[in-house]
Amino acid sequence: MAYNLDSGSHSVYSLHYHLILVTKCRSEVLTEDRTNFIHEVIDGFADNYGVEVSHLDGEDDHIHVLFTTKPTTNLVKFVNTLKGATARRVRNEFPELKDEQGDSFWNDSYCLILTGQVSLDVLTEYVDNQRR
């Protein structure tokens, strides 16, 4: 089994995440321009958290962010910063959103999924067959 691994001073790791953010009340306000702007905002501060965004896209009412991190990354702090910074910057760049959406931009909740380079079934089989 071959993995694409990153390394730190005392660790080897592969941490890939899938973050889904939904607009408040599922408002359909995420145009292509706004989504591209959100990607630029995230790229502007992601390095400070040891995060590398590999893909970002979505639909009118939500975005998907695929990213990798270091083991030391505080994911809650990163996601909260991401939500706050993007909401603030998008509202400044596109002031008409205040009229379209009110006071909030993102839904309070989010979905964060740890992904892997192989499926859970393949990994389970690999571990189960270690002594064979």
What's the confidence (pLDDT) of residue 124?
78
Q: What's the token pair of residue 55?
A: 């893909």
| pLDDT of 7 higher than 80 | yes
CA 64 – CA 61 distance, rounded (Å) = 11
Q: What is the pLDDT of residues 50-98, one digit of tens each?
A: 999 999 999 999 999 999 999 999 999 999 999 999 999 999 999 988 7
What's the confidence (pLDDT) of residue 8?
85
Give alpha helix (H) positions in the chain. Answer: 32-46, 75-93, 97-101, 120-128
CA 83 – CA 132 distance, rounded (Å) = 47
Nearest alpha carbon to residue 18 among 57, 72, 60, 47: 57
Rg (CA), the chain: 18
Q: How confident is the model at residue 132 (pLDDT cuts 50, 70, 90)?
A: low
pTM, entire model: 0.86
Most distant CA pair in the chain: distance in Å?
64
Domains of the chain: 10-128 (3.30.70.1290)
What's the confidence (pLDDT) of residue 121?
78
Angstrom CA distances, 7 to 10, 15, 37, 46, 49, stand at 8, 11, 31, 18, 16
Q: What is the pLDDT of residues 14-55, one digit of tens each?
A: 899 999 999 999 999 999 999 999 999 999 999 999 999 999
